[in-house]
């Protein structure tokens, strides 16, 4: 591989970034960091693929072709058809690829995967359009999330795997003194992947949530079958096609990673997951299916499921700055993020701002006005909201009047100047009692729940208890008191929830940075895995040691 030194340098920088946890981005997030002609080429590739068969996969003749993707912006079918293979064929191909891929060795696998990331980089702009018109993400978010941010998360997992796989020496001459003589034994240590890996994609972040597991499994020597959500195939299809090209260029079986397309009429995730040959499963999605996967015997299952994320108000320096930040957070991609805040806990005695206390009612009114003003801002609102990925989320968001709560801000469609038919819905704000069961469930989508509490301690206890029972991925807290900050941190830590304190300006609780933030703690019901700590890769392989007595 001509780029070996360059790719090793990328890998080493990523390994060091994982250790330091400081800012590192191998792939710039700003579109202008890429060639000037790249956006137009990406759009041309996207348009050329519409209503055509996706023929870029290297998986052999298919049994059929299928596709059912609809754009949340145009509400029209993309018309793309993907090759369909039986589960038997997919598993047979994966089994055949397993041994050669394992024997390739740690460094060779890593270099091929870096090469794949560099190939995917050339497709960022097509991936952005594919993501936009399958998930409903605004274009900038689609570009960043499915392009550079996804590549960085994949590289993060690859680097973590590389470090763990090279932690111990490949071989050693072991000598034990025995007085007048010594015993000499030659030992070698081989990391062996556990078997076929299955990655089950989601409809809202098909690439970002899938590639860490895909790259972690491939890096540790396991073939991977990727089962995308039927409504969001295109972005992952591009990624898998580039992985297959990288494998082929290096002389390996491109079917070491395969795309497994299905339809809502005939879903195959269970069929694949329950097969004994599948030993590793990565999943992002709802709790019910995630719980089922976690219950399967003989599997290493990595999940990211649903949770109830909290915002705790205590005291602030500038309430308007806080509310502007939170308005963006609840509006970003219309709340269709696992990190989006939902429950807003506000003490009945109000929120201290500097030397004054802002009454509870005023805090709520200013929050309502801030959200309303943001979504109706012609330059900020439509692009930030994007579109609603599916009708179920829209029905939930529009059905807040049927909930046992007071509606403080009703949802409404926000006109998108580029797409007249975009499926949009602004965030609603409802007020619920602290004892209500409503606040103990995830209301996925653009729904904010305000809860009046006795005081900050009460707010923290509610957030803590709900996180332990229902899960949480994020928590935002606002306090100017060091002792209160420490109390919130320690109490939420007991529920395995990371806390973001006093965020204002251009950093939001929704965001987690590769090489620095661990995404999902893995300690509460919101998920059992973390992107990307050592357990995320170590559970995908075992160490097998051999020894031979030396003369």
- Looking at the domain assignment, is residue 148 inside a domain? yes
DSSP state of 427: P
Residues 112, 229 share a domain: yes
Residues 215, 68 share a domain: yes
Closest CA to 133 of 203, 66, 52, 72: 72
Per-residue pLDDT at 551:
84
- Looking at the domain assignment, is residue 438 inside a domain? yes
Mean pLDDT to the nearest integer, 428-454: 97
- Looking at the domain assignment, is residue 509 inside a domain? no
Percent of the chain whose predicted confidence (pLDDT) is above 90 = 99
Please say if the pLDDT value at position 156 is more than 80. yes
Mean pLDDT to the nearest integer, 298-304: 97
Strand partners, 263: 266
Mean residue pLDDT across the chain: 97
The C-alpha angle with vertex 515 and arms to 514 and 516, in degrees rounded to 5, equals 90
CATH of the domain at 139: 3.40.605.10
Q: What is the pTM of this model?
A: 0.97
Q: What is the span of the domain harbouring residue 481? A: 310-501
Mean pLDDT to the nearest integer, 374-397: 96
Mean pLDDT to the nearest integer, 24-44: 97
Please say if the pLDDT value at position 275 is more than 60. yes
Residues 320, 285 share a domain: no
The domain tally of the chain equals: 2
C-alpha–C-alpha distance, residues 50 and 24, integer Å = 35
- Looking at the domain assignment, is residue 152 inside a domain? yes
- Looking at the domain assignment, is residue 84 inside a domain? yes
The verdict on whether omega for the bond into residue 532 sits within 30 degrees of 0, i.e. cis, is yes
Residues 331, 276 share a domain: no
Residues 440, 407 share a domain: yes
Residues 282, 352 share a domain: no
Percent of the chain whose predicted confidence (pLDDT) is above 70 = 100
Please say if the pLDDT value at position 278 is more than 80. yes
C-alpha–C-alpha distance, residues 397 and 188, integer Å = 58
Spatial contact of 436 and 483, defined as CB atoms under 8 Å apart = no
C-alpha–C-alpha distance, residues 102 and 510, integer Å = 37
Lowest mean per-residue pLDDT among 162-166, 176-180, 320-324, 424-428: 176-180
Q: Grade residue 2 by pLDDT with cuts at 50, 70 and 90.
A: low
Per-residue pLDDT at 3:
81
Spatial contact of 359 and 347, defined as CB atoms under 8 Å apart = no
Q: How far is CA 362 from the centre of its chain?
A: 36
Residues 360, 286 share a domain: no
Residues 187, 287 share a domain: yes
pLDDT, tens digit, 9 for 90 and up, residues 100-133: 999 999 999 999 999 999 999 999 999 999 999 9
Residues 242, 314 share a domain: no
Residues 317, 209 share a domain: no
- Looking at the domain assignment, is residue 372 inside a domain? yes
Residues 236, 341 share a domain: no
Residues 333, 294 share a domain: no
CATH of the domain at 392: 3.40.309.10
- Looking at the domain assignment, is residue 464 inside a domain? yes
- Looking at the domain assignment, is residue 183 inside a domain? yes
Per-residue pLDDT at 1:
56
pLDDT, tens digit, 9 for 90 and up, residues 487-526: 999 999 999 999 999 999 999 999 999 999 999 999 999 9
Residues 6+ apart with CB under 8 A from 201: 209, 210, 226, 227, 228, 229, 232, 236, 284
């Amino acid at each position: 591989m001509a780029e070996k030194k360059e790719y090793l340098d990328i890998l080493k920088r990523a390994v060091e970034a994982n250790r330091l946890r400081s800012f590192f981005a191998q792939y710039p997030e700003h579109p202008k960091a890429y060639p000037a002609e790249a956006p137009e080429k990406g759009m041309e590739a996207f348009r050329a693929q519409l209503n055509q068969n996706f023929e870029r996969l290297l998986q052999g003749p298919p049994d059929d072709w299928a596709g059912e993707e609809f754009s949340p912006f145009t509400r029209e079918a993309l018309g793309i058809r993907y090759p369909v293979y039986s589960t038997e064929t997919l598993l047979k191909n994966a089994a055949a690829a397993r041994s050669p891929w394992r024997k390739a060795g740690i460094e060779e696998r890593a270099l091929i995967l870096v090469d794949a990331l560099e190939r995917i980089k050339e497709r960022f702009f097509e991936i952005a359009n594919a993501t936009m018109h399958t998930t409903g993400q605004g274009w900038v978010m689609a570009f960043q999330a499915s392009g550079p941010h996804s590549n960085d998360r994949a590289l993060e997992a690859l680097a973590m795997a590389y470090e763990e796989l090279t932690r111990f020496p490949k071989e050693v001459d072991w000598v034990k003194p025995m007085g007048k003589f010594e015993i000499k034994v030659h030992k070698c240590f081989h990391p062996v992947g556990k078997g076929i890996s299955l990655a089950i994609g989601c409809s809202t972040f098909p690439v970002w949530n899938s590639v860490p597991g895909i790259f972690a499994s491939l890096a540790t020597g396991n073939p991977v079958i990727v089962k995308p959500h039927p409504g969001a195939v295109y972005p992952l299809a591009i990624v898998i096609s580039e992985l297959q090209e990288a494998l082929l260029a290096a002389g390996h079986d491109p079917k070491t990673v395969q795309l497994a397309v299905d339809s809502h009429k005939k879903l195959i995730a269970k069929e694949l997951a329950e097969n004994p040959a599948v030993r590793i499963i990565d999943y992002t999605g709802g709790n019910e299916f995630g719980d089922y996967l976690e219950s399967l015997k003989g599997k290493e299952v990595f999940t990211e499921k649903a949770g109830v994320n909290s915002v705790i108000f205590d005291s602030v320096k500038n309430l308007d700055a806080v509310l502007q930040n939170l308005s963006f957070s609840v509006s970003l991609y219309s709340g269709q993020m696992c990190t989006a805040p939902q429950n807003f806990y506000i003490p009945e005695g109000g929120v201290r701002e500097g030397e004054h206390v802002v009454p509870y009612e005023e805090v709520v009114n200013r929050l309502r006005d801030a959200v309303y003003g943001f979504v109706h801002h012609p330059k900020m609102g439509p692009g930030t909201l994007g579109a609603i990925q599916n009708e179920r989320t829209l029905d939930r968001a529009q059905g807040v009047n049927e909930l046992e709560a007071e509606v403080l801000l009703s949802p409404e469609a926000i006109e998108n100047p580029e797409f007249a038919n975009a499926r949009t819905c602004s965030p609603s704000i409802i007020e619920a009692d602290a004892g209500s069961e409503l606040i103990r469930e995830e209301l996925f989508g653009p729904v904010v729940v305000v809860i009046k509490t006795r005081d900050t301690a009460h707010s923290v206890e509610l957030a803590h208890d709900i996180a332990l029972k229902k899960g949480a991925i994020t928590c935002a807290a606002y306090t100017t008191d060091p002792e209160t900050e420490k109390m919130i941190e320690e109490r939420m830590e007991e529920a395995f929830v990371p806390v973001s304190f006093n965020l204002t300006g251009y950093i939001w609780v929704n965001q987690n940075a590769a090489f620095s933030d661990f995404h999902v703690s893995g300690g509460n019901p919101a998920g059992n895995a973390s992107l990307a700590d050592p357990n995320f890769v170590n559970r995908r392989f075992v160490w097998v040691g051999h020894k031979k007595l030396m003369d």
